């Protein structure tokens, strides 16, 4: 299993960041390459939510259905494919409060059945994509906070 990790500090309350992370329909706004999503049931993700995603990443088409397998309000969200999937995939967001108005988010992506040569290129792409995704997430949060005030 190839593992890609990234951490970033967000100048937003932990609950606000978590609320956006659990808005699975908003993922195409901050994860480049996602073209289609379907969430069941509708609304914020919770334990057992089903999530379908189709997209194009590094020139490769990707389709996967994941479920929320770990959920701790304002602290942890994990999405993963079925264990028997041909390309197992697990994505986790762990949040830790730094102060009342800031938190650190630990992003972890695990991809199974990746050929060694492809893992090298994926690692290079993730080094660029993960910080960019975090910046888009911050921008989306800024817009939501502005609307709320």
DSSP string, 65-131: EEEEEEEETTTEEEEE--TT-SS-EEEEEEEEEEETTEEEEEEEEEE-S--HHHHHHHHHHHHHHHH
Predicted confidence at residue 117, as pLDDT, reads: 86
Q: What is the pLDDT of residues 23-43, one digit of tens each?
A: 999 999 999 999 999 999 999
Q: How many CB atoms lie within 10 A of CB 124?
A: 11
To the nearest whole number, what is the mean pLDDT of the chain? 94
Domain tally, the chain: 1
Predicted confidence at residue 14, as pLDDT, reads: 97
CA distance 37 to 28: 8
Q: What is the pLDDT of residues 39-90, one digit of tens each?
A: 999 999 999 999 999 998 777 788 999 999 999 999 999 999 998 898 899 9
Q: Reduced to 3 states, what is the DSSP secondary structure of residue 15?
A: helix
Query: What CATH number should be reported for the domain holding residue 96?
Result: 3.30.530.20
Cα dihedral: 114, 51, 140, 36 (round 10): 80
Statement: the pTM of the whole predicted model exceeds 0.85: yes
End-to-end, the C-alpha distance of the chain in Å comes to: 43
The domain in which residue 76 lies consists of 2-148
Q: Distance of CA 82 to CAs 3, 51, 88, Å?
A: 17, 12, 7
Cβ atoms 18, 73 nearer than 8 A: yes
């Amino acid at each position: 299993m190839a593992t890609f990790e990234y951490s970033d500090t967000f100048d937003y309350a932990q609950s606000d960041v978590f609320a956006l992370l659990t808005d699975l329909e908003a993922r195409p706004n901050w994860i480049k390459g996602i073209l289609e999503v379907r969430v069941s049931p509708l609304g914020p993700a919770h334990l057992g939510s089903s999530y379908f995603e189709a997209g194009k990443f590094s020139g490769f088409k990707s389709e996967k259905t994941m479920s929320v397998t770990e959920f701790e309000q304002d602290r942890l969200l994990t999405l993963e494919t079925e264990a028997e999937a041909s390309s197992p995939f697990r994505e986790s967001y762990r949040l830790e409060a730094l102060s009342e108005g800031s938190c650190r988010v630990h992003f972890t992506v695990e991809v199974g059945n990746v050929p060694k040569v492809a893992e090298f290129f994926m690692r290079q792409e993730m080094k660029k994509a993960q910080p960019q995704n975090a910046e888009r997430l911050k921008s989306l949060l800024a817009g939501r906070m502005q609307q709320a005030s």
